[in-house]
Amino acid sequence: MKLSTKGRYAVTAMMDLTLHENEGPVTLSDISQCQGISLSYLEQLFARLRKHGLVTGVRGPGGGYRLAQPADRITVADVILAVDDNVDATRCGGKGDCQDGERCLTHDLWSDLSGQIYDFLNGITLAGLAERPSIREVMARQDLKHARSRAPSPSAA
């Protein structure tokens, strides 16, 4: 389990898709402008997300990306694992003969901890994140702005 800015970019971008899920596909240039990430770098990230079956791309005008699965079935761990490829784990490869053949217990310990971190992140879905109070608050403000032709109806998807 690795946790870097790359993973953060991916998660925030996926949240963008989640929050605008019912407004059609989201273009990468939108996310690029919002997040301040270069378009091509986003393309690279989304290529991986697509290969891992997390998003689907829609080409052409009006196209963009949308979630390939319901938001409550995609976890933060899924997203992070999709973008940063394999973790090499231990240096001694679990040979266990590092020093006197006994000292290497800390390796097991890390894999133990790492597993816990994974379980934790795997328990947080995009839908779950989107339901947080701090987010719903900002979403409500957005709804007001976007309701330009009619009275603000509380109808959510």
Partner DNA sequence: TCAATTTCCCAGTATTTCAGTGGGAAATAG
Partner DNA sequence: CTATTTCCCACTGAAATACTGGGAAATTGA
Binding site for DNA (CB under 7 A): 2, 4-6, 9, 25-29, 36-38, 40-41, 43-44, 46-47, 50, 56-65, 84
Q: Which amino acid, residue 85?
A: D
Cβ count near 27 (within 10 Å): 17
Cβ–Cβ < 8 Å for 80, 11: yes
Rounded to whole angstroms, how far apart are CA atoms 73 and 124? 10
Give the other-Cβ count within 10 Å of 61's Cβ. 6
Q: Give how many residues touch a copy of itself by CB under 8 A.
A: 57
Indicate the residue among 94 and 152 with the shorter CB distance to DNA.
Answer: 94
> Contact between 35 and a copy of itself (CB under 8 A)?
yes
Quick one: 43 or 155, whose CB is closer to DNA? 43
Q: Report what 99 binds from DNA, a copy of itself, none; CB cut-off 5-8 Å by kind.
A: a copy of itself
Q: Other C-beta atoms within 10 Å of 75: how many?
A: 19
DSSP classification of residue 92:
S
Single-letter amino acid, residue 97: D
Options 47-55, 57-65, 66-74, 118-126: segment touching a copy of itself (CB under 8 A): 118-126
The correct pick among 40, 47, 94, 103 for binding a copy of itself (CB under 8 A) is: 103
